[in-house]
A = this chain, B = another copy of it.
Amino acid sequence: MSITSRAFHLVSRPVGEPTQDNFELVTSTLPDPGEGEIAVRNLAISVDPYMRGRMRDVPSYAPPWKLGEPAQGGAVGEVIASGSDRVPVGSLVVHNFGWRDYAVLPAEQASVVPRRDDIPATVYLGALGMPGRTAYVGLFRTARFRPGDIVFVSAAAGAVGSMVGQLARLSGAKQVIGSAGSADKINYLRDRLGFDAVFNYHDGAAAELLAEAAPDGIDVFFDNVGGEQLEAAIGWMNLGGRIAICGAISGYNASQPQPGPRNLPLFIGKRLTMTGFLVGDHGDIAQEFTDRVGAWYAEGKIVAEETIVHGLEQTPAAFIGMLRGENTGKMIISLD
């Protein structure tokens, strides 16, 4: 058997917003999987905000993508050839060899997930995958959510944000507030996800919009955005409020560092705490997450909205669009 793979390579690093020209689709022939390896046909590919950081050639928590090599990221696929007893042909696997249609990889780098008629494979890239787990860790561990808390999440219609809001609601939040960047997203948050209050951050000053949406202040802020909304949240936190810093997408395409919040001295009188986190540090939570959120999903209590584009060729455009906020819920590239 001979596997022809097409993979997007990073060929240049962007200044500001990434462009299609930063990527090149390269065709190659893969070796058959050896002992302990598997060959996977990807069914769907994930593009996520953190990948913008991997385009930079600076040390960070995820190493930079290398020029002239395939980009990396989450994908779900089926095993078509296997040198591993643990991961037989036909298995459904989640792995990090995305941005391509076929991959050969060490079996130990793949997680086998259940094939079920009631769970689309793409859900393992979103609600039941890394973004969902990120929401779970940030809300329950980092922000130490307690029932009765008022929770605000920015980029609430994104893959992580939409899970934060739903997890908070299902766990006894007093009020869940979300912000997003379009009227459609605002409607989606309110009508499909059950947010108590929502605002479009384009509609005015974030501080005023937040104050109107959350008349009793906020106890937890789950920050995906940074910038003006972070400053607004600090200004509107209640005593003892907790901020989980998950992302700062408002600045990801900026070539200069963005100004920080001018109201940090409020941390003292309000006894605020702000903590950055990475889901990868919390591998021990995987079973708890799968059990708890998997059960809610099976009971139909979780909406796992996706924005799906079709065809490997669309991957860079989907990535660029996701950074612009063109997705509602998880941005997925379907290869089916």
Write the residues of chain A forming the contact surface with B, with a CB cutoff of 8 angstroms.
60-61, 226, 230-231, 245-248, 251, 257-278, 281
Contacts and interface: CB of A to CB of B under 8 A. Distances in A.
A251 B264 CA distance: 11
B260 A271 contact: no
Given A259-B262, A260-B262, A273-B273, 11 more contacts: A245-B264, A246-B268, A248-B268, A251-B265, A259-B260, A260-B263, A260-B264, A266-B276, A267-B276, A268-B276, A273-B275
Copies of this chain, count: 2
Nearest to A239: B61
A271 B247 CA distance: 12
Given A271-B275, A272-B276, A276-B272, A226 B265 contact: yes
The interface residues of chain A, by DSSP majority, are classed as loop
17 contacts: A61-B268, A245-B268, A247-B268, A248-B265, A251-B265, A257-B263, A260-B262, A260-B263, A260-B264, A266-B276, A267-B275, A267-B276, A268-B277, A270-B276, A273-B275, A274-B274, A274-B275
Nearest to A261: B260
Nearest to A247: B268
Contacts of A272: 275-276
Contact of A269 (B260, B271, B275, B276): B276
Contacts of A270: 276
Contacts of A257: 262-263
A277 B271 contact: yes
A64 to B, nearest CB: 12
A271 B263 contact: no
B248 A264 contact: yes
